[in-house]
């Protein structure tokens, strides 16, 4: 897909061939080159043919080298698209301002980072306690206040939720004792 606006281009597609880093010009300036498949069309024989544009990434080319591979989904931004004719065919190319990876590419990068993390030392075996072993005092059953966890005058029942019979609904607490019968009686 190509979106062309007054402020630039946005191309979405898949990389047609593994990107290649080249050094061009007298200064040996690095450029990352790859074809971007942005769609397809039927030719005269009825076969689906891919529509490609050649992408040149000048800024950050060395940093991006090896980060993308064939069939990776990307979004590319550029200022203009250039065309040239050769042997009766028209070829399109752009000089990319930015290349943005798809989700699968990002997940592959994350997996590569995870794979670089060294494994930790083997875990020590946990101590095994038989089922019939006595329960330590700090894990005693509720109600057994061996450690005196309550303040003087405080009861365990102070911390238990009320039963449904003694509980009032939040609407009754806000609006009084009369329950709301119909939705029209609601204040909102």
**pTM exceeds 0.75, yes or no:** no
pLDDT band at 141 (very low <50, low <70, confident <90, very high): low
Write out the E strands in the chain: 2-5, 8-15, 20-24, 29-42, 48-57, 73-86, 89-101
Q: How many helices (H) and strands (E) does the chain have?
A: 3, 7
Mean pLDDT of 69-87: 93
83: pLDDT strictly greater than 60: yes
Q: Find the mean pLDDT for residues 6-26.
A: 93
| Average pLDDT estimate for 83-102 | 92
Confidence category of residue 171, pLDDT binned at 50, 70, 90: very low
In the block, which residue shows the tokens 């102070």? Answer: 158
Confidence band (pLDDT; 50, 70, 90) for 154?
confident
Token pair listed for 77: 């931004």
């Amino acid at each position: 897909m190509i979106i062309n606006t007054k402020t630039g281009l946005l191309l979405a597609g898949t990389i047609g061939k593994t990107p290649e880093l080249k050094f061009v010009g007298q200064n040996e300036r690095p450029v990352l080159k790859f074809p971007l498949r942005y769609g397809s069309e039927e030719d005269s024989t009825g076969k689906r043919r891919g529509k490609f544009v050649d992408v040149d990434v000048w800024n950050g080319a060395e940093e991006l080298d090896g980060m993308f591979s064939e069939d990776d989904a990307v979004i590319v931004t550029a200022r203009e698209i250039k065309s040239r004719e050769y042997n009766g065919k028209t070829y399109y190319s752009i000089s990319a301002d930015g290349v943005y990876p798809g989700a699968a590419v990002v997940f592959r990068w994350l997996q590569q980072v995870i794979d670089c993390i060294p494994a930790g030392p083997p875990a020590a075996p946990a101590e095994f306690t038989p089922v019939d072993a006595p329960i330590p005092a700090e894990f005693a059953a509720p109600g057994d206040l061996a450690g005196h966890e309550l303040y003087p005058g405080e009861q365990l029942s102070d911390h238990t939720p009320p039963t449904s019979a003694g509980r009032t609904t939040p609407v009754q607490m806000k609006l009084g004792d009369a329950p709301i019968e119909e939705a029209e009686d609601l204040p909102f």
